[in-house]
């Protein structure tokens, strides 16, 4: 079945630094990937839709200059949290849909802690 690999699983960074999270589709091509943010004990909030070879589509209220998304190939999308602050600490999850499939495959998530 379709597998999505997300890396790293955990990251701790200092305030003001940038962190890159990778999302890879291992056995299929994903022209579209999705990035979610999940707060403790809450549902997933869609941040943006990542489109291969074009700009990402951000949801209302998400700062595109802070959360940089690059979808450079059909199997890789990256989310970079720039100039991170403690309030950016959260669980970030990516997902992708295989062409023709009726569901989404999720990555294992990245726990970001900004200190």
Partner 1 sequence: AQSVTQLGSHVSVSEGALVLLRCNYSSSVPPYLFWYVQYPNQGLQLLLKYTTGATLVKGINGFEAEFKKSETSFHLTKPSAHMSDAAEYFCAVSEGPSDGGSYIPTFGRGTSLIVHP
One residue of 21, 84, 93, 96 binding partner 1 per CB under 8 A: 93
Task: Give CA–CA dist 86/7, Å, rounded.
Answer: 20
Going residue by residue from 5 to 44, which x/- string records binding to partner 1, judged by CB under 8 A? -x--x------------------------x------xxxx
Task: Give CA–CA dist 34/94, Å, rounded.
Answer: 5
Closest CA to 33 of 79, 88, 65: 79
> Which distant-in-sequence residues (6+ apart) come within 8 Å of 82 by Cβ?
18, 65, 66, 67, 68
DSSP code string of 90-104: EEEEEEE--TT-SS-
Contact flag: residue 91 with partner 1 (CB under 8 A): yes
Shortest Å, Cβ 99 to partner 1:
8
Shortest Å, Cβ 83 to partner 1:
25
One residue of 50, 96, 97, 112 binding partner 1 per CB under 8 A: 97
The footprint of partner 1 (CB under 8 A) covers: 4, 6, 9, 34, 41-44, 46, 49, 91, 93, 95, 97, 99-100, 102-109, 111
């Amino acid at each position: 079945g379709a597998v999505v690999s997300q890396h790293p699983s955990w990251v701790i960074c200092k305030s003001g630094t940038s962190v890159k999270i990778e999302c890879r589709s291992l056995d299929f091509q994903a022209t579209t990937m999705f990035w979610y943010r999940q707060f403790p004990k809450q549902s997933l909030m869609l941040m943006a839709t990542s489109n291969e070879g074009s700009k990402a589509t951000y949801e209302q209220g998400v700062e595109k200059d802070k959360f940089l998304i690059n979808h450079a190939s059909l199997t890789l999308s990256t989310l970079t949290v720039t100039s991170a602050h403690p309030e950016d600490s959260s669980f970030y999850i990516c997902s992708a849909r295989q062409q023709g499939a009726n569901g989404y495959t999720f990555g294992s998530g990245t726990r970001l802690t900004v200190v």
